Amino acid sequence: MLTPKQQELLSFIQTRLEEGGVSPSFEEMKEALDLRSKSGIHRLINALEERGFIRRLPNRARALEVLKLPDAMHRAPKLAVPAKAPLTSGPALSQPPVAANDILEIPLHGRIAAGVPIEALEGQNMLSVPAALLGTGDHYALEVAGDSMVEAGILDGDFALIQRTDVAREGQIVVALIDENEATLKYFRREGPKVRLDPANSAYEPQIYDPRQVRIQGKLAGLLRRYN
């Protein structure tokens, strides 16, 4: 059984997620519950988490997920969830709303040539990426070095966000590992029995390999660019 404040906080978090997909900040929760300090919010969050009503999403900043609602919680009509994610009380929610403004930490594996293949997947740094830039699946990031993909809008210094996969469709931009020790970012195409890796810059020639030389390590899911 939840205390009135725990139930009030749970209802506020659920409402904010339903209305905009954004998890409220601790400051917003403090003001909504008319508490004097954020420490009270921390205690309420911990209590709800221990009782299995919410959970904090791993590797994400300021992201909470509502797992279930108590049977006693009566909701106003304006807080109803769309049909694709029906709200139930008591049992766990089958599709709990997730914050859209959270941040993921994904591995940053060094620099990858967008021109000539270089060794990739070096280092184990992490890169903070808005979750909205990524889809489902496992991801990592590579810093682009070179200009052979400029006509695809991929510039030197960009961070290529890669979804892990070992298969690719014709025309996808992929990370291809060549002879098990060098990687490149290119368009994937077939040319008869061969694999052709195409640049997006007329100054560069396609790279043609025996399929046994090429192993797909991921496909491009998005780009992150810094402006200094």
Contact at 8 Å (CB) between 199 and 206?
A: yes
**For the chain, how far is it from start to end, CA to CA, in angstroms?**
52
Tell me if residue 186 is catalytic.
Answer: yes
Cβ–Cβ contacts within 10 Å for residue 79, how many? 12
Tell me if residue 128 is catalytic.
Answer: no
Check 23, 68, 148, 219 and give the catalytic one: 148
Going by C-alpha positions, the residue among 219, 20, 24 that lies closest to residue 135 is: 219
Check 11, 30, 68, 186 and give the catalytic one: 186
Going by C-alpha positions, the residue among 181, 178, 186 that lies closest to residue 219 is: 186
**Catalytic positions, written as ranges:** 148, 186
